[in-house]
């Protein structure tokens, strides 16, 4: 039997946890909570206690993400204006845009309908 487990948080390694949490908090319109060693963004309200946790690491990201999250947005323009970089535009029937946050972490933006 498996233990009674639940998702507690998604951890993002980054060089500047405070800046990353502020950026994602702004983009997702979510509360940011700062702790001594990391910052947390309260984004998944329906899953109580599930957070995005931004923790410090000494090096820049060097490889593509093994996991990423998807966001929905009316337009990617506000994300870019906030500091995201477009990596790949929608093409060949694909509806989403691939972007990177200010530290290079990839995410996808789907059009909100």
Task: Map out the domains of the chain with their CATH numbers.
Answer: 8-59 (3.30.720.120), 67-113 (3.10.180.10)
Model confidence at 37, pLDDT cuts 50, 70, 90, reads confident
Q: In this structure, are residues 71 and 55 in contact, taking their beta carbons and an 8 Å threshold?
A: no
- Sequence-separated contacts (24+) of 3-10 with Cβ below 8 Å: 7/47, 7/50, 8/49, 8/50, 8/51, 9/40, 9/50, 9/51, 9/52, 9/53, 10/50, 10/51, 10/52, 10/53, 10/69
Q: Does position 7 have pLDDT exceeding 80, yes or no?
A: no
Per mean pLDDT, which of 40-44, 56-60, 61-65, 104-108 is the most reliable? 104-108
The whole-number pLDDT of residue 100 equals 96
Work out the angle at residue 74's Cα, subtended by the Cα atoms of residues 72 and 89, and round it to the nearest 5 degrees: 75
Q: What are 88-111's pLDDT values in tens digits? A: 999 999 999 999 999 999 999 999
Q: Does position 46 have pLDDT exceeding 60, yes or no?
A: no
Q: Does position 83 have pLDDT exceeding 90, yes or no?
A: yes
Q: Which residues contact 10 (CB under 8 A, 6 or more apart)?
A: 50, 51, 52, 53, 69
Q: Does position 69 have pLDDT exceeding 90, yes or no?
A: no
The whole-number pLDDT of residue 95 equals 93
Distance CA 51, CA 17 (A): 14
Q: Across the strands, what pairs with 72? A: 110
- Report which of residues 86 and 41 the model is more confident about: 86
* Strand-strand pairing, 9-14 and 51-56: parallel
């Amino acid at each position: 039997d498996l233990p009674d487990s639940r998702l507690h948080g998604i951890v993002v390694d980054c060089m500047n946890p405070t800046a990353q949490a502020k950026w994602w908090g702004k983009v997702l319109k979510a509360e940011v909570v700062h702790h001594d060693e990391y910052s947390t963004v309260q984004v998944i309200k329906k899953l109580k206690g599930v957070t995005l946790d931004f923790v410090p690491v000494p090096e820049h990201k060097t490889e593509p993400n093994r996991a990423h999250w998807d966001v929905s947005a009316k337009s990617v323009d506000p994300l870019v204006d906030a500091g995201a970089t477009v990596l790949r535009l929608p093409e060949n029937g694909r509806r989403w845009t691939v972007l990177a946050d200010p530290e290079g972490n990839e995410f996808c933006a789907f059009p909100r309908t």
